[in-house]
Structure 1
Amino acid sequence: MAQPGEGGAHGALSGLRVLNLGGSLSAAWCARTLAEYGAEATIVEPPGGAALRSLGPHGPDGGGIPAAYAVANQRSLVLDLADEADRATLRRLASDSDVVLESHAP
């Protein structure tokens, strides 16, 4: 578990590491909420970004406003899961995390 002061804001969940693999608005919102309480949240996205980033309405920069709001307070990491090195990185991140969020079909 992360030590207090190693990322994340000060709060009730300070030191908690959250890995967001969901790719959905609901998973992003959950991770954002945990980050607001001090967790260190990281969203993992494929090259080109998560599909949720295309949800409208869109801002002046062309990015989806709902996604911009939902992924706030999260670090973003791009991993290509077709690449073995990136899969190894994902396994390491998951094992180092206290919470792993996902919203994929079983």
Structure 2
Amino acid sequence: MSGLPGWLLQHSITVEPYEGTGAYGHVYGLPAVVRCFVDEQTRTVRSAAGDQTTSSGTAYAPLATVAPPLSRVTLPTGRTTVVIQALRRDGGTLPVPSHLEIQLE
């Protein structure tokens, strides 16, 4: 299995990838619409820095999705949030779907 099956990608989110900080604050790349599965569930996760924080949802997207920490994400509900961490779940040759797990504030 190579990626998430199309029937599972029921939602669309808009991702503006974080590119750094400029003179006026955070700088984001061009917005991209990504088909994914969104699970809005509160849970405790670790940030990229190793701190414990609360995640309000998770998006499961194709592995090629670009969503580094601090990227801005607009959910199907219209709510805008920020990426805590994006975890690559690459199954390689195993019969499991490879995907990117995007943990959201």
TM-score between both structures, scaled by the size of structure 1? 0.28
Greater fraction strand: 2
Which structure shows the higher helix fraction?
Answer: 1
